[in-house]
């Protein structure tokens, strides 16, 4: 089986691969993740995921498979990054409060071939008070998360419904990722 390399510093993506029983190494891709002018959320996450896998590909072993991924929280046309401070988190979570937003998660795989896939999920938040946002911020959880929340953590109490991929919202859509890996000879269930 080819060696699997995760081109990401995200501990959540690594945990999700481990959940599938996949041994992998981590090589962080140093790329510019600034959205381009007039770039759609779908184009943005696909471009960044591809840039991550492409940056590591020339440095990996010949038979390796490089997995790059990117996830963005999107409200309307706005791609929400990570909060810079408490006020930024209040602004973001207030925007998400009592509404539905999308989470775009792209996977790019470089091995024998280059493959990409996109997962889009809808997330509906209940109304969140300013005080709840401040208390949530002080837990430390939202500081390095797109959209200022982690679905798998304390923010789960804000979420009324999701329609899509729970693991995709976390950062790596496992259904789609398993399909791409299978195409490269990496099986989840060895026969």
**Residues identified as active-site:** 70
Which residues are paired to 6 by β-bridges? Answer: 26, 67
How far is the C-alpha of 107 from the C-alpha of 80, rounded, in Å? 19
How far is the C-alpha of 89 from the C-alpha of 165, rounded, in Å? 24
CB 108 within 8 A of CB 116: yes
Q: Can you tell me which residue has the tokens 């938040």?
A: 125
How far is the C-alpha of 29 from the C-alpha of 39, rounded, in Å? 21
Nearest to 165 by CA among 114, 119, 127: 119
Exposed / middle / buried, residue 129 (Cβ in 10 Å: 0-12, 13-18, 19+): exposed
Which residues, at least 6 apart from 153, have a Cβ–Cβ distance to it below 8 Å? 141
């Amino acid at each position: 089986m080819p060696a699997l390399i995760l081109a990401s510093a995200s501990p959540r993506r690594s945990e999700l691969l481990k959940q599938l029983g996949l041994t992998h190494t981590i090589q962080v891709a140093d790329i510019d993740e600034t959205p381009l002018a007039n770039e759609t959320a779908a184009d943005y996450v696909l471009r960044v995921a591809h840039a991550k896998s492409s940056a590591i590909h020339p440095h990996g072993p010949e038979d390796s498979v490089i997995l790059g991924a990117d996830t963005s929280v999107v409200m309307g046309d706005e791609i929400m990054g990570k909060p810079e401070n408490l006020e930024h988190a209040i602004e973001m979570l207030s925007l998400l409060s009592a509404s539905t937003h999308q989470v775009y998660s792209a996977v790019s795989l470089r091995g024998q071939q280059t493959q990409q896939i996109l997962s889009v999920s809808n997330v509906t938040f209940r109304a969140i008070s300013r005080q709840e946002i401040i208390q949530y911020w002080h837990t430390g959880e939202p500081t390095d998360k797109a959209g200022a929340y982690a679905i798998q953590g304390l923010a789960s109490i804000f979420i009324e419904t999701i329609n899509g991929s729970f693991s995709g919202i976390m950062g790596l859509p496992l259904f789609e990722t398993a399909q791409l890996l299978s195409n490269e000879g990496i099986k989840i269930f060895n026969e």
